[in-house]
Structure 1
């Protein structure tokens, strides 16, 4: 009887540990140019072409983002500016980045101990991205590899990227402030090129993916 109780306790402890450990995010730059990877939580790191950054994120983390900053210039104290994705003029980001930037978004160990993750173009686009699980218990990843910067509509063009229409026009139709918005000609432009990515704030049904808690992930810039 005692051994049975101990065995049951160990099973529960093993499950709890497996489902709540930190998730590993391997962030790799495959662009032919340097990017300054950014993460909230996590900070930031300069990545030359081919370099990677391993980031451990606590179980239960929500509202998290990873993105690439481009054309940055930082001094020895880690202060400077980036053309896209700038997070308040610091190398070690504590706040979200400035549009346009392609976003990897996630929340860990949520409903039914599932991780929720997505690629979002709601803040525009600056570099192609792959956001995928690397653990065997989950295999469905997301990619946005279209040449959006070169095809960007004239109204949304910005140095180094393609802006989102909310940032440009600041109207409810594009920003979804009332909660009743739908697709627009601009969101359809993004959706046609990256069908699995968020193209406007209410684009949930085809753009949110899940993996079991305890999954590890990769984020690749220019896959």
Structure 2
């Protein structure tokens, strides 16, 4: 019995590994970034031109990748970042602090598709793109290559980034409190500002149409900072 269980476990692990997605993060910015990744990946430091890869198992839910900027860490991995900080550690064990441009994904399994998007719902700090690299079929490259920081409205501007209106003002007009719906929470001037500069990206809570993309399960992905 123990031998049979071991064989079954080995087969399950082999299938999970086969269906895992390799996610590569590339820094094409002229400055150092510290990518964060949650719930898998953690984080690291990337000088200009460097890349980093990690495995995300099939079925990973609500995965996210973002750039941290202005970071300092000691030899134990403790420190802080100007934007995107995740609790003062190099290897993130939770989401990053806004503002941070966000690459989000949910990996399917079997015949279930992967879903991925770029989100500016929490604001913007670094231009980025998100693409399938070993895809069965076509996967669209999603990009937010504009430097929104240089055009950020003064009232949303913070050190290193551009806040969303919800984070700045915390009012129902911008935050879509529950219970809510597209009819009760239309786009506002600030979300239209983000959408105009980055049409592929989520700009507010109900900006799902045309902002969520799919790939076949088993696809590998590349996130590029400053594409």
Q: Same fold (TM over 0.5)?
A: yes
Equivalences for residues 25-104 of structure 1 within 5 A: 25-40=23-38, 41-104=40-103
Deviation at 1:195, TM superposition (A): 0.4
SS at match of 1:168: helix
TM-score normalized by the length of structure 2: 0.88
Higher strand share: 1
TM-score normalized by the length of structure 1: 0.90
Deviation at 1:136, TM superposition (A): 3.7
Which of 210, 213, 217 is the matching residue for 2:217? Answer: 213
RMSD: 1.8
Deviation at 1:105, TM superposition (A): 0.2
Number of positions where the alignment pairs a residue of Structure 1 with one of Structure 2:
209
**Distance in structure 1 (CA, Å) of the matches to 2:92 and 2:216:** 28
Aligned to 1:150: 150
Deviation at 1:134, TM superposition (A): 0.5
Higher mean C-alpha deviation, range 30-39 or range 174-183: 174-183
Residues 124 and 163, structure 2, Cα contact 8 Å, conserved in 1: yes
Deviation at 1:135, TM superposition (A): 1.6
Moved over 6 A (4+): none
**Distance in structure 2 (CA, Å) of the matches to 1:111 and 1:155:** 46
Aligned to 1:203: 207
Residues 79 and 90, structure 2, Cα contact 8 Å, conserved in 1: yes
